[in-house]
């Protein structure tokens, strides 16, 4: 299981929000490229970048910072979400060196976009499904929809997405542990790789997710915990690798 540091970008700075609220932020750095380097030096094998302003604006806002990170670490797989609403935006990010683009809100509003993008950019499209109590949230989590996570996941699996990123928004940024049960249930519902997100707090959480990885959890995104020090990133990745080696 791959442990993936999150770099959330707002107004060109690295921040973390509590449950997606733009007015409840903690600023961790004014230098996104340096922050990326911190996690690379700690052993990160992939980065998860989110354009928070873009998620609300519906178009890229922190593209300069994202391009800067991609240019600084051209051999590092980078996945980007936030404000991706069309194929032109996807193409621009991929041309800049991003490895994967994550379609979130627009996947719910315009599900046909996912199919078109998967055909145009095979193997490079992920879908972000953010949910509360199993219901999909969109527009920076400001709106809860009637759509169920498992139903949309099955649809996008048919489109050929590279992975589904599942976030329990009730856990995100709250440091109270991941929703392993809901994530595992999604994994059982689809064959597409699932990346867990939200609530990862301690090394014990990594163990829980890694032990569930046999059913298809291929990665775990972590943010506030590694910034505030409740989780040592290097130790977490080493544990996940060791548990995988033991299974093999």
Q: Does the active-site annotation cover 8?
A: yes
Q: Does the active-site annotation cover 91?
A: no
Task: Check 51, 130, 172, 205 and give the catalytic one.
Answer: 130
Spatial distance between the Cα atoms of 175 and 167, rounded to a whole number of angstroms: 14
What are the residue numbers of the active site? 8, 130
């Amino acid at each position: 299981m791959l442990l993936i540091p999150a770099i959330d970008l707002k107004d060109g700075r690295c921040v973390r929000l509590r449950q997606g609220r733009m007015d409840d932020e903690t600023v961790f750095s004014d230098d996104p490229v340096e922050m990326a380097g911190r996690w690379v030096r700690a052993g990160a094998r992939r980065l998860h970048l989110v354009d928070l302003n873009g998620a609300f604006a519906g178009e890229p806002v922190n593209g300069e910072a994202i391009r800067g990170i991609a240019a600084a670490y051209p051999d590092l797989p980078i996945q980007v979400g936030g404000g991706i609403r069309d194929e032109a935006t996807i193409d621009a990010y991929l041309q800049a060196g991003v490895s994967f683009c994550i379609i979130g809100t627009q996947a719910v509003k315009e599900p046909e976009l996912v199919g078109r993008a998967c055909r145009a950019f095979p193997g490079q499209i992920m879908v972000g499904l953010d949910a509360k109590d199993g219901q999909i949230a969109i527009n920076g989590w400001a709106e809860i929809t009637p759509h169920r996570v498992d139903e949309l996941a099955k649809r996008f699996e048919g489109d050929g997405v590279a992975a589904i990123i599942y976030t329990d928004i009730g856990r995100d940024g709250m440091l109270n542990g991941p929703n392993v049960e809901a994530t595992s249930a999604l994994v059982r519902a689809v064959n597409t790789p699932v990346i867990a997100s939200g609530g990862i707090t301690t090394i014990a959480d990594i163990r829980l997710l890694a032990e569930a990885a046999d059913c298809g959890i291929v990665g775990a995104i972590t943010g506030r915990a590694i910034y505030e020090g409740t989780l040592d990133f290097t130790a977490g990745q080493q544990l996940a690798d060791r548990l995988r080696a033991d299974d093999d």
